[in-house]
Amino acid sequence: MVSPTFIFYFTLTLFLFLNVSKAQIKNSTKTILVDKSGKGQFTTVQKAIDSIPSKNKQWTTILVNAGVYKEKVTIIKDKEFIVLKGKGRASTVIEWDDSGNSLASSTFLLYASNFMARDITFKNTYNLVLEDDVLKKITWAPAALVRGDKASFYGCGFIGIQDTLTDLHGRHYFYNCYIEGAVDFIWGSSQSLFENSEINVKSKEIGVGKAFIAAQGRQSASEASAFVFKNCKVTGTGPAYLGRAYKKYSTVVYYQSSFDNIIDPEGWNIMRQAGNEKDITFAEAQCKGPGANLSNRVKWEKTLSSGELQKFIDQKVFLNQDNWIEEQLKHV
């Protein structure tokens, strides 16, 4: 007869083994290598993504060796838990030339949640190269579209002219990134924090007159969406507006950021929401540099209290209440 003590310890051991195994499976990370010269498992980024099964629950790192990958890349909604990692934003580039649609023309399209990108650049080459010394019509040509929830980008580049970063929906975190453009080149209705990043304005080079950095589309007072720039630097050529409203409750905040002498004295602009200035939240706090002079800003720029400001600049409060950013970093 099997003793009760043996049954107890056997059951306990089995329970612990099964639960440890589940945790290991959940936290394990698979790696796929992409190399355009054929030294990896795939020669294109899209083929590597396509190899990940639908409804994937295992964190998978797609390691992309240095090179310029001329392709359009899409991550569909049911391919979550992907880390896309390059060898540096100067050496690993995904680029494509497409234009005419603020969504579909994107070089990189992310519809899935639970995603991280590191050390890689997304570029739309439309309008970046003169053809017979003539610049093509300035139009929508995004480098990246981000639509899923819980997406983070570290050391990444986003290069284009109009709508460079289509930051559409969800909670997004950008750290130590580089974003370049001229016309509404960070736009959308997402809840995004840009930290320690460079925003480079290219208005002079393309002759578009005044540039517009952020076009944020919060539509109601109950939404949490906003663009927050914390410890960022705005460089390049101007003149440029820090942002312009294209929805009734557009919300953009710059905190402890530095501005080159390229910012239009008024600072802010309205696209289609004239008359709703009281509902728009455009604010600057503790910023510096020759472009940070507030004396001639629009009268409807908001001055936030310390409590109001904290809701935007505190990562935990603004978009990371469930610690999703820390959870993602465990799989790098």
pLDDT digits (tens, 9 = 90+) for 15-69: 443 443 333 334 457 999 999 999 999 999 999 999 999 999 999 999 999 999 9
Which residue's entry shows tokens 């603020």?
102
Locate 179 and state its tokens: 């974003």
User: Average pLDDT for residues 100-129, to the nearest whole number?
Assistant: 95
Instruction: Read off the pLDDT band of 332 (50, 70, 90).
Output: confident
- Check if 163 is active-site: yes
More confident residue, 134 or 159: 159
Burial class (CB in 10 A: 0-12, 13-18, 19+), 276: middle
| 8 A C-beta contact, residue 222 and residue 201 | no
Q: pLDDT (tens digit, 9 = 90+) per residue, 150-190?
A: 999 999 999 999 999 999 999 999 999 999 999 999 999 99
User: Average pLDDT for residues 268-289, to the nearest whole number?
Assistant: 90
Given this model, what pLDDT does residue 26 score? Answer: 43
Cα–Cα distance between 207 and 205 in angstroms, integer?
A: 6
pTM of the model: 0.90
What residues does 146 pair with on adjacent strands?
A: 110, 167
Q: pLDDT (tens digit, 9 = 90+) per residue, 225-262?
A: 999 999 999 999 989 999 999 899 999 999 999 999 99
pLDDT above 70 covers a percentage of the chain that reads: 88
Given this model, what pLDDT does residue 12 score? Answer: 43
Asked whether the predicted pLDDT for residue 282 surpasses 60, the reply is yes
Active-site residue, selected from the candidate residues 119, 149, 167, 184: 184
Contact residues for 177 (Cβ-Cβ < 8 A; gap 6+): 153, 154, 155, 156, 157, 158, 194, 197, 198
Reading phi first (left if > 0) and then psi (alpha if -120 to 50, else beta), residue 170 is in left
Locate 309 and state its tokens: 């400001």
Task: For 156, list phi and psi in degrees, rounded to 5.
Answer: -100, 160
Active-site residue, selected from the candidate residues 163, 167, 260, 264: 163
Q: pLDDT (tens digit, 9 = 90+) per residue, 119-130?
A: 999 999 998 876
Instruction: Read off the pLDDT band of 209 (50, 70, 90).
Output: confident
Q: Look over the chain and give the mean of its residue pLDDT values, rounded to a whole number.
A: 90
User: Average pLDDT for residues 130-159, to the nearest whole number?
Assistant: 88
Q: CA dist 97 to 71, 126, 148, Å?
A: 9, 5, 23
* Coil/strand/helix, residue 254: strand
Given this model, what pLDDT does residue 300 score? Answer: 96
User: Average pLDDT for residues 270-298, to the nearest whole number?
Assistant: 92
Q: pLDDT (tens digit, 9 = 90+) per residue, 69-94?
A: 999 999 999 999 999 999 999 999 99
Listed in sequence order, the DSSP H helices in the chain are 4-27, 45-50, 203-206, 306-313, 315-318, 324-329
Cα–Cα distance between 148 and 41 in angstroms, integer?
A: 27
Reading phi first (left if > 0) and then psi (alpha if -120 to 50, else beta), residue 236 is in left
Element (H, E) at 68: strand 67-70
| 8 A C-beta contact, residue 229 and residue 255 | yes
Given this model, what pLDDT does residue 272 score? Answer: 72
Given this model, what pLDDT does residue 10 score? Answer: 46
